[in-house]
Amino acid sequence: MRYLVFDIETSNVFSDIGRSDPSALDLSVIAVYDSASNTYTSYFQNELNKLWPLIEHTDVLIGWNSDHFDIPLLNKYYPGDLSRIPSLDLMEEVRKAFGRRLKLDSVAQATLNVGKSGHGLQAIQWWQQGEYEKVREYCIQDVKVTKKLFDYALKHGYVKFEELGKKRKIPLDTRAWDTHRSEGITHTLPF
């Protein structure tokens, strides 16, 4: 199975656009881990044409809050239809098992003793200050953390969360996670 773990950063926030629709935001950078090449890459908005062939040849897109945020935003730029590509939203998997949405950083800290290198609002500030490489590095770090969580959950069947000073296991049903297969080589575009 070929999968992409990905994360998106934006150059603006919901208050800038006057509504809470992720697809109305503007992408600044997307970072991707490609299981086929075992590499991390990133793309600014003007480089997205280099990303599309990777997406078209993947079996599943993996992210944190990706079904609700990243995929709708990226679909605005994508010339095909990302909803036709299978996805695994790790935050949604945790929400289904635990009953509420948790932040990537809190789950990563409790599970892996590794966290994010900042937060999304900071990345928007960096972008607005012209610190584009800093935003790229931050986004790649988020993808590394998400990939490590995916690997850990797949191996152990759970992730952890700290509450009131105690770590709790959140059991996850990972049986179908590595069985996503696309029906063909591409999904919506002729690559």
As a whole number of angstroms, the distance between CA 51 and CA 147 comes to 18
Q: What count of other Cβ atoms lies within 10 Å of the Cβ of residue 127?
A: 21
Please report the pLDDT score of residue 118 as a whole number: 63
Q: Is the pTM of this model over 0.85?
A: yes
Q: How far is CA 23 from CA 17, 32, 41, 127, 178, in A?
A: 11, 19, 23, 19, 28
Helix ranges (H only) for 37-103 are 52-56, 71-75, 90-98
Would you put residue 39 in left (φ > 0), alpha (ψ -120 to 50) or beta? beta
* pLDDT at position 151: 97
* pLDDT value of position 79: 92
CATH superfamily placement of domain 3-170: Ribonuclease H-like superfamily/Ribonuclease H (3.30.420.10)
Distance in angstroms (rounded) separating the CA atoms of residues 89 and 66: 6
Return the axis-axis angle of helices 90-98 and 132-156, rounded to nearest 10°. Answer: 50
**pLDDT of the chain along its 191 residues, tens only?**
999 999 999 999 888 877 888 998 999 999 999 999 999 999 999 999 999 999 999 999 999 999 999 999 999 999 999 989 999 999 999 999 999 999 999 999 999 998 765 666 889 999 999 999 999 999 999 999 999 999 999 999 999 999 888 999 999 999 989 765 555 444 556 55
